[in-house]
Each structure stands twice: as structure tokens, then as C-alpha cells.
Structure 1
């Protein structure tokens, strides 16, 4: 194990997170190569009375993978991936990113539902649920979680699967990093790629109303092999964007077809009938599709999200109007359809509730200058207030920062939350792992 403390040459590099708004200074960072290192780090935290944060990808928008004057358990050295193509399973080290996992599984033409940003940590995304392009066909990442190995608050090394500690496995399928420090995960894989039919369709923003309404009507009726999203964005200065659209507000459809190419071409014809000004949808490697939305690190971030049972015209009008007023050209305003395999999972099979949601909207504010913090945060909060009449309650917690306990309660639902609190009491009764979307242990009456 390697310890990093203030004053070390690489301290600032090792404590830096994806969100540049977060500037926390831990007392020490423990870079852990295995479960024994994790247990030793937790023992040190208990002995010194230090708060604990767990660091993998570092993408949590509220900076929950670091802590001021506490101890960061950094699992990034655990980067191994072992693929069993015959059983369609992968054993994934807790420090892996989705780029690591996708590169290993695509050698065999396999994948599991993964994040839409390749630098996101596998463990953090999975523990929080795991939304991605394959979800309507293969479920959320947590629906594909077969086993998890972790170190509990008291230093025990535990494997949770369907035969041992099944309560802990259930809690890890969306209950976040509340129950221990994950050292590896076992995930189910599915035939995907290595080529998929994917990319962007782009229109000038004056077509946004027409495109959004047609997309809303089409997307839920498409086969589950289609992953998609509608995005309001600013044309980037990239070669694939015509010069007259660069720096201009645009509406885009992101389309990912993971089935037979001929069938996919037929399905996508309905979207192409809207005559996009730019059509970038073509056969491409799945790994390239997985990194298409990657942001550079070091930008300032503030996000939120809402579930919706439907998106009537009035709700779409709010989505588009607020999106048109986004204060930063780096900001994206997104909507994704659920349904398919996401809704096929029983409400109590994982901690995630509200699987009947048809849509998720996701204001994704990104900017550079700290002087613009207030304006961008206000934009996200303003969207939540404006869309509230059409919100279904709850949200996908990986899409949001620290929005208070009531948001957590609403996202799990009363029955699932009580069960999570019981599991928390069994494995972390003193709430050592509080640096997350926190679930407090249930105290017996």
C-alpha cells in the first residue's frame, strides 16, 4: 500500500477529482492494491478517528470520493479484468474504468450495460444503478451484477452472491457505496459488437420542437436493441461539424443500435426522415461509441435529474425553453427513454424504485470559470422547479449531487429504504461509509 499526504509531490494530482468545483484536502490517501490493503487503511481510519471516502473513477459530481481532513481509500490500483467468454462473465477490479472493461470484453464481442462516459469508474456506476446505452436491451448495470467482493467497516473480507450474503448483494445493486469498500465485481456479459450502428444526427436548434416531439413519439416504440438520447448542445469545433454549425445551438439525437445492422438501418429510417443537417450514424466500434460523450477533466460540473411517466407537449416545451437558456456553451441538456429490460425487473429485486418511469431528463451543466458557478447552479435548479409538475418523484442517484435526504428516500421508496437500512445496520452499524448518497443504519426500537 502507498500512502500520500499533504506535501508529497503528487498529492495534488492524486486528490484531484473529475469535477473541478471540488477541492478537498484529505489528511491521507491510501492507494490500495488488494483487500488486505483496504482492511489496513480502514483500521488506520478507525484508530485515528478519520472520516472515510472511497475513490475509484472520481466522477461523483458532489465529490463524494474525497473528504477534507479524512482518509481516502483509493482503489485505482485494482485495474485487472478477467473475462470468461464461455460463461459470459467478467471479474472486474474495483479501480477499473468503463474503458478498461469495454476494451477487455470487446475482444470477445461481449459487453454489459456501461456508463456513457468511458472514464467513469465501473464500481461506482454499478453500485449506483448503472444507466447506459444497452439498458433497454440488457437492463441496468446493477441488474447484471452477479457477485461483489468487498471489505466491511470492521475489516472483514466478504463475497456476496446468490448463495452467501445475498442481502448484501441486493443492497449493492443500486444502494451505493454504503456497505463496504468494493474490491471486485462479477458482471454478466452479452453479445455486443465489436461494431454497432451508432452516432449523432444533428439539426439547428430551430428544429428542436419538431425533432423532440417526433423523438418522444418514436423512441418508446422502437425495439430494445436501440439505445438513444435527445441532447441540446452547442456545436463543437470539430471536423465532423460543418463550420456554420460550430458554436451554434443544436439539437441532436444520439443513436446506438446493438442488433443486426440491416434491421437497425430500417429502424433508424424513421429518425432520418426528419432530414438531419448532419448524419454521423454509421457502423463504428462499440468502444468508440462508449467514449463519444467523454468530457475533459478539470471542468466545473453541476447536474441533476428527474424521472417522468410521460412527456406531454407542455413538458417538452419547458425542457426546450430551459435548455435554450443554458448559460454555458459546454452544458448539455439530455433526455433518455427507459422501458424495455429496465421496467421488466421487479420493484423489489433491486433497491432502485420507480422502474415504471418512461423517461429521465438530465440537466448537465459544465463550465470553466468559477465566477460562473452561481449562474450554472441556478440554471439546473431552475429546470428542476420548472419541470416539477411533470416529475414522477425520485431520480437516478448517479445523475445528481447532494440534493438532500428526501431525494434519497424518494428514489428508493419506503420499503426498499427500510431494507437497505437493515443491511446497513448489519454491515456498517456506525455509518463509517457516510461519504455517499447516505443510508443511515436502522436503529432497533
Structure 2
């Protein structure tokens, strides 16, 4: 078919799909000619510039069911948007249909039962605001603007994971619409295979419309460590930090960052944007003498440049990094799981950190273990329970002219650290779409085969499969 005819045919098919969606949905349907199209297709990562044919902004579960009914008939490429914060930008697809859940914001907290039910468009900041009214929390991510859906489906690393586990570990049940249009409530007792896959298996199993989380007593105040160390002592600090993580109790979740000093009001201006080592940790319990004692080794890694440790509201802690990752800037992240951090790994890491292309770029090492490792290896689709650390190499920049340099730095640093990896990668930090497909084995490990069987059972026609993998 000639190109002009193909364009005409595609436009007619999109118009027909749009008409059927508009006649069936309560929510808004946005096409390429809509004045809000560019805003609706934009996601957190400004590097992502995909142009879907249509965006179905669902008002509730019934809209999701109707959207899938129409999608089964027309067979467009389908993507699902919750918070739109995933680095790979899989919330949007080129020339396909985006099922947009971002307006589904319902949250109900039951403090007596210790649970919260939240719809898939809710962000962690929005969920924390509701649960903290009762001094309760469920473990979320480190950026309050991140959606609960994508983070939880990929596992969910966070500030208190050693105490309370991953985000997916607190999920008690989910409402999910599968490819056949059925609305299913899944749990350990109901459709356990689907429940297993939804906790760490990433996308492609259906449209999760709400989550029921178990809540934990935490807040409204929490104790934490944030110490900035001079960069000339980086190797010494990283070794001391590593040794301190070995003895850290499960109530403490340590992490260390190679980054630039933030331009905050509490920091002398002459230090702004200079390189430093940031040692951080959060105590997963009430502030007080026990918290101070447990956090002390993370605070005493050597003479500090600045010590910002103290007690803060939990909601402030969860928002603390959000301003440093603003919407629309450009991001690329890759990760390794690691069983140890030996001296050679530290030297290699510092060598690549010295080549960071922008002050916004950073390297983070998060400590696992504790409650993360107590969950059985095969209890959920998350495949990296035994790892001690997650290493994340995060390029951030503003100027599109730096795309090649920033992405190249992150890829090269990731390659250099591969000899120290346990062979796994975190699906939420898996680069761009092409990286995610390349790293499926590393993301899901020995669970990949079971995940594929479950996906095939619930989506035999590949409605949710990426375009490159559709039957």
C-alpha cells in the first residue's frame, strides 16, 4: 500500500476507534487534534516523546472495561498510564492507545483494619497524605510524585524497605481488569497466580485499577540521617558505609549517593553543586533513644561536610527528593543488584562517578535485606530477595544536545559495574524500552518462565504485549 494510502487508512481507523470510545466512556478521549494532546501525552521523563493515536482518560473501572472491549475489536498497540513516572516511559506508546488511569484518585483508609484502598492514578504523596492522618504508612518510593501502580508492580524499593519490605509486600489484594474484560479481585486466596505476578512482575498482566495495602504504624515524625561528606574522602566514606551496613538492624535502611550538593537554604552557597558523598538512612519506628542509637553508625562515617540529620514529618521525608527530579527534564537510569561491595567495585564506581556528565546525574546504592529478604524467594515475582544492594546509575540533564553523552555515560558505567553484579537488574530502573526487552532475564531471573505462562493464560492474544512482541 502506498504511503499516502497507508496514512489515510490509519487516520480512518483511528477516527473509528475514537468514535467508539467517545460513545462508550464517561472519561475524556483525546486524539491528535485535541488542544490538550501534547500535555496529555507528556510524562515525567522529558526524554520520552511518543505520540499515541488516542488517549482514553478513564473515570473508573467501568471505563477500563469498555476501553478493553473496544481495543480487543480494533487491536491497537496498548499502553497503560498510572502516574507516568517510570523512567522508560512505557506509559505511552507510538500510534497506539493509552489507557490513562491518572484521574482515578480515590483513596479510602480503614485505620481499624490497618488497610488502605487506593486507585491506580494515586501518587505516593497523595496516599501518604491520607494514611498519615492516622499515623500509618505503607512502604513507598523515594519520590512523592511517583505513581503507586508502576512502582508497586515492579517491586517497590523505598526508604523503609528493610523494616516493612517492598511496596509489593504490603499488597493484600488488587482489582485488575484482564484482557478478556473481566474485573477480578486477586489475592493469595483468589487467583493466586495473577496475584503472584502482580507483585514484582511489572506490566503486561492486565490493567490494575486499585490496590489494597496493609498499613504499618509509622509517623507522623520519623528519625533519619543525612550527612554530606567531602568528595576527597569518597573512597574512605564508601568503605565505612559498606561496613556499617553489615551490622545495621532491620529498623534502619541505609543508602549512599554520589551526587552534587543541593542548592538548599540550609547549605552555604559556596558548596552548591559541588561533588559530595551523601549518606542517608531512615529509622522504621518512632523517634527517640532507640532510633538515635540505631542510626548512629550511619551518622559517624567520618568528619562531615554538613550534617542535616534529625527528626522530620514522614510526608516531608517522602517529598524531600521530589524537587530535584522535576517533570520534563531528561532522565536515563540503569541498575544492578549486588551481593557485595568490595574495594575494587568502590574504586570502579568512583572512577565512573568522576566522569558524571551533569550535576543532576548521580549514583545511588540502596541496602536491601531485612524484611525484603524475609519474604520467600518464590513468594512473589520480584526475583532479587537475596541481594544485599541495589546500584542505580541515574543520568539527569536538561539540554537535548547532551542526550548522547548522558546516556552513554550511564550505559558505560553500568557496563563497567557488571562484573560486580549478581546478574540482576531492577525492572523500574531498566533504561529505555529497548533496554527493558534486552534485560528481561536479568529483571525477572528464574521467575521469567512462570511470568510468561501467566501472561499467556490471561492474555492469550497478546493485547498487552509491546508492539515488538505481539503475535
Corresponding residue SS for 2:317:
helix
Aligned equivalent of 1:283: 311
Q: Deviations 1:370-409 (Å, cap 9, x if unpaired)?
A: 1101111111111112112111101111122232545212
User: Could you tell me how far 1:159 is from its partner in structure 2?
Assistant: 0.9
Aligned equivalent of 1:10: 36
CA distance in 1, matches of 2:277, 2:231: 5
1:429 aligns with 2:441: no
CA distance in 2, matches of 1:51, 1:199: 45
Q: Deviations 1:98-151 (Å, cap 9, x if unpaired)?
A: 001111111111111101110111011111111101110111111111111011
Corresponding residue SS for 1:425:
helix
User: Could you tell me how far 1:247 is from its partner in structure 2?
Assistant: 2.0
CA distance in 1, matches of 2:469, 2:153: 13
User: Could you tell me how far 1:439 is from its partner in structure 2?
Assistant: 9.0
Aligned equivalent of 2:299: 272
Structure 1 gaps, min length 5: none
Aligned equivalent of 2:418: 388
Aligned equivalent of 2:154: 128
2:350 to 320, 325, 338: 320
Aligned equivalent of 1:361: 391
Aligned equivalent of 1:376: 406
CA distance in 1, matches of 2:114, 2:142: 22
Q: Work out which of the two has the higher radius of gyration on C-alpha atoms and give 1 or 2.
A: 2
1:112 touches 1:134 (CA, 8 Å); kept in 2? no
Aligned equivalent of 2:114: 88
1:178 touches 1:434 (CA, 8 Å); kept in 2? yes
1:421 touches 1:440 (CA, 8 Å); kept in 2? no
Structure-2 change in CA distance of 1:189 and 1:196 (3 Å):
same
Corresponding residue SS for 2:209:
strand
How do residues 234-273 of structure 1 correspond to structure 2 at under 5 angstroms?
234-260=260-286, 261-273=288-300
User: Could you tell me how far 1:270 is from its partner in structure 2?
Assistant: 2.5
Q: Deviations 1:194-221 (Å, cap 9, x if unpaired)?
A: 1001252112211211111110000231
1:421 touches 1:439 (CA, 8 Å); kept in 2? no
How do residues 304-343 of structure 1 correspond to structure 2 at under 5 angstroms?
304-343=334-373
2:225 touches 2:295 (CA, 8 Å); kept in 1? no
- Greater shift in the superposed pair: 209-218 or 261-270: 261-270
1:114 touches 1:130 (CA, 8 Å); kept in 2? yes
Corresponding residue SS for 1:305:
strand
How do residues 39-438 of structure 1 correspond to structure 2 at under 5 angstroms?
39-260=65-286, 261-273=288-300, 274-294=302-322, 295-401=325-431, 402=433, 403-414=435-446, 416-435=447-466
Corresponding residue SS for 1:117:
coil
User: Could you tell me how far 1:427 is from its partner in structure 2?
Assistant: 0.8
User: Could you tell me how far 1:320 is from its partner in structure 2?
Assistant: 1.5
How many residues align? The count is 439
User: Could you tell me how far 1:440 is from its partner in structure 2?
Assistant: 8.3
Corresponding residue SS for 1:193:
coil
Structure-2 change in CA distance of 1:189 and 1:95 (3 Å):
same
User: Could you tell me how far 1:433 is from its partner in structure 2?
Assistant: 1.2
TM-score by length of 2: 0.90
TM-score by length of 1: 0.95
2:430 touches 2:439 (CA, 8 Å); kept in 1? no
Corresponding residue SS for 2:229:
strand
Q: Deviations 1:35-61 (Å, cap 9, x if unpaired)?
A: 110111122223333111000111121
CA distance in 1, matches of 2:262, 2:420: 31
Structure-2 change in CA distance of 1:31 and 1:256 (3 Å):
same
Corresponding residue SS for 1:200:
strand
1:32 aligns with 2:58: yes
1:394 touches 1:408 (CA, 8 Å); kept in 2? no
User: Could you tell me how far 1:233 is from its partner in structure 2?
Assistant: 0.9
Task: Report the structure, 1 or 2, having the larger helix content.
Answer: 2
1:97 touches 1:120 (CA, 8 Å); kept in 2? yes
- Greater shift in the superposed pair: 365-374 or 234-243: 234-243
2:427 touches 2:436 (CA, 8 Å); kept in 1? no
CA distance in 2, matches of 1:72, 1:320: 41
Corresponding residue SS for 2:394:
strand
**Deviation >4 Å, runs of 4+:** 438-441
Structure-2 change in CA distance of 1:146 and 1:247 (3 Å):
same
CA distance in 1, matches of 2:203, 2:238: 36
Corresponding residue SS for 1:107:
helix
Give the superposed CA RMSD.
1.6
